[in-house]
């Protein structure tokens, strides 16, 4: 017999509102629909009432997990509109914080995925390791969530030699812990039983629907803005695009583990090669000239785009924010079909959704 099983939009297990409508035949999901847009906050409208410096403070609060990504992408769009060249030291610092943010975001997702499948001991170990990354971010920026490291024209805070040495030591400990975590995740029977062959998104479907970020790379689609259109001196760093070809939830676990090692590699290179000189172009409030520019950044969840339109006035004429979850959410119905209702929560979570970003 066919049933309709609703998940959300408001549910004790959901931290953010999303509604999935599952059409089932017994325990098997035969079709599904996903509905979004339950928590619109009007941030794009608020941007038209603020100058660029005020806007950075605002967009940094679109999302608590990838706050640096939003501030950085907006700043890069404005700087390109103004043909502004950011000092190289400032660009390196931006890249370091971006990769630390990617690390803590991937650790957070791994912990949540382990919690969903019932592996709470490994969930607690994962989040314990994540605390070390949060401590590094706090040491560099003074904050654990909204770092305030971006200004128009560069970085707001420098990295001292003492902090640089300390961060490198902490990265050694994080990498050692990541090696142990990788070995467990790749061999643990509980992880394998709950993730292998679950929520498959084939390479063809990922390309057809337009998946991006780690979600696409877990379906063997090698897309990464840091390689495809380098910015913040990413062309100076030696790193690989992590891809996996099993196209299931297990692949999404593996991808985030592999990307953590690549992020550690980038941070080490950036700290070792950190250029001397200024970190920004000063603290003047810029006036965005008439014109428009769209910039994309590889945020932890995938490609984040900001389009900034200026009319020569004090405030933004228009700021349009296009987030990774908006691109990845349409893949959920395809992944749900043929799976058990019991796996629905894990499959939805496997895209690493941020409805806070999407309902901006």
Judging by beta carbons within 10 Å of its beta carbon (0-12, 13-18, 19+), is residue 348 exposed, middle or buried? buried
Which range of residues forms the domain containing residue 68?
A: 42-358
Contacts of 213 (CB under 8 A, 6+ apart): 223, 298, 299, 300, 301, 302, 303, 324, 328, 352
CATH number at residue 302: 1.10.645.10
Kindly state whether residue 32 falls inside one of the protein's structural domains: no
State both tokens at 261. Answer: 């090692």
Kindly state whether residue 26 falls inside one of the protein's structural domains: no
Kindly state whether residue 248 falls inside one of the protein's structural domains: yes
pLDDT per residue of the chain (360 residues) written in tens, 0 to 9 = 678 888 877 765 556 777 888 888 888 888 888 888 777 888 999 999 999 999 999 999 998 888 999 999 999 999 999 988 999 999 999 999 999 999 999 999 999 899 988 888 889 989 998 999 999 999 999 988 889 999 999 999 999 999 999 999 999 999 998 999 899 888 888 889 999 999 999 999 999 999 999 999 999 999 999 999 999 999 999 999 999 999 999 999 999 999 999 999 999 999 999 999 999 988 777 788 888 999 999 999 999 999 999 988 889 999 999 999 989 989 999 999 988 888 888 898 888 888 777 777
Closest CA to 249 of 213, 272, 219, 274: 219
Q: Count of domains in the chain?
A: 1
| Contact status, residue 306 vs residue 69, Cβ threshold 8 Å | no
Kindly state whether residue 4 falls inside one of the protein's structural domains: no
Q: From CA 255, how far away is CA 182, in angstroms rounded?
A: 11
Kindly state whether residue 1 falls inside one of the protein's structural domains: no
Kindly state whether residue 115 falls inside one of the protein's structural domains: yes
75-133 pLDDT, tens digit per residue, is 999 999 998 899 999 999 999 999 999 999 999 999 989 998 888 888 998 999 899 99
So what's the pLDDT on residue 335?
93
Contacts of 329 (CB under 8 A, 6+ apart): 18, 34, 36, 351, 353, 358
Q: From CA 150, how far away is CA 31, in angstroms rounded?
A: 44
So what's the pLDDT on residue 162?
93
Kindly state whether residue 7 falls inside one of the protein's structural domains: no
Percent helix, strand, coil in the chain, to 5, is 50, 15, 35
Q: Cα dihedral angle (55, 56, 62, 63), rounded to 10 degrees?
A: -170
Kindly state whether residue 22 falls inside one of the protein's structural domains: no
């Amino acid at each position: 017999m066919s049933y309709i099983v609703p998940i959300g939009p408001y549910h004790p297990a959901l931290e953010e509102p999303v509604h999935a409508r599952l059409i089932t035949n017994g325990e098997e999901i035969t079709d599904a629909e996903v509905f979004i847009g339950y928590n619109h906050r009007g941030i794009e409208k608020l941007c038209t009432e603020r100058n660029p410096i005020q806007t950075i403070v605002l967009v940094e609060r679109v999302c608590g997990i990838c706050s640096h990504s939003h501030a950085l992408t907006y700043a890069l769009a404005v700087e390109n509109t103004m043909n502004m060249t950011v000092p190289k030291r400032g660009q390196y610092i931006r890249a370091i914080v971006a990769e630390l943010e990617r690390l803590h975001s991937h650790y957070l997702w791994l912990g949540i995925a382990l919690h969903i499948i019932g592996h709470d001991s490994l969930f607690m170990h994962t989040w314990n390791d994540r605390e070390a990354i949060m401590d590094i971010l706090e040491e560099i920026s003074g904050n654990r969530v909204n770092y305030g490291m971006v200004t128009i024209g560069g970085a707001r805070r420098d990295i001292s030699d003492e902090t640089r040495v300390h961060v490198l030591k902490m990265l050694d400990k994080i990498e050692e812990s990541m090696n142990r975590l990788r070995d467990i995740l790749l061999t643990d029977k509980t992880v394998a039983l709950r993730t292998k062959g679950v929520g498959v998104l084939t390479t063809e479907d990922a390309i057809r629907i337009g998946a991006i970020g780690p979600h696409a790379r877990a379906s063997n689609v090698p897309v990464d803005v840091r390689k495809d259109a380098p910015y913040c001196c990413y062309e100076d760093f030696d790193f690989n695009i992590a891809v996996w070809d099993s196209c299931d939830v297990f692949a999404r676990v593996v991808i985030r583990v592999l990307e953590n090692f690549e992020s550690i590699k980038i941070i080490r290179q950036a700290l070792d090669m950190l250029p001397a000189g200024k970190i920004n172009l000063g603290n003047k409030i810029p006036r965005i000239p008439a014109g428009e520019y769209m910039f994309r950044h590889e945020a932890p969840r995938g490609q984040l785009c900001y389009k900034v339109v200026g009319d020569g006035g004090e405030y933004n004429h228009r700021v349009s924010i296009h987030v990774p979850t908006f691109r990845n959410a349409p893949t959920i119905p395809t992944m749900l079909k043929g799976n058990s209702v019991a796996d629905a929560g894990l499959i939805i979570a496997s895209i690493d959704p941020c409805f806070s970003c999407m309902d901006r």
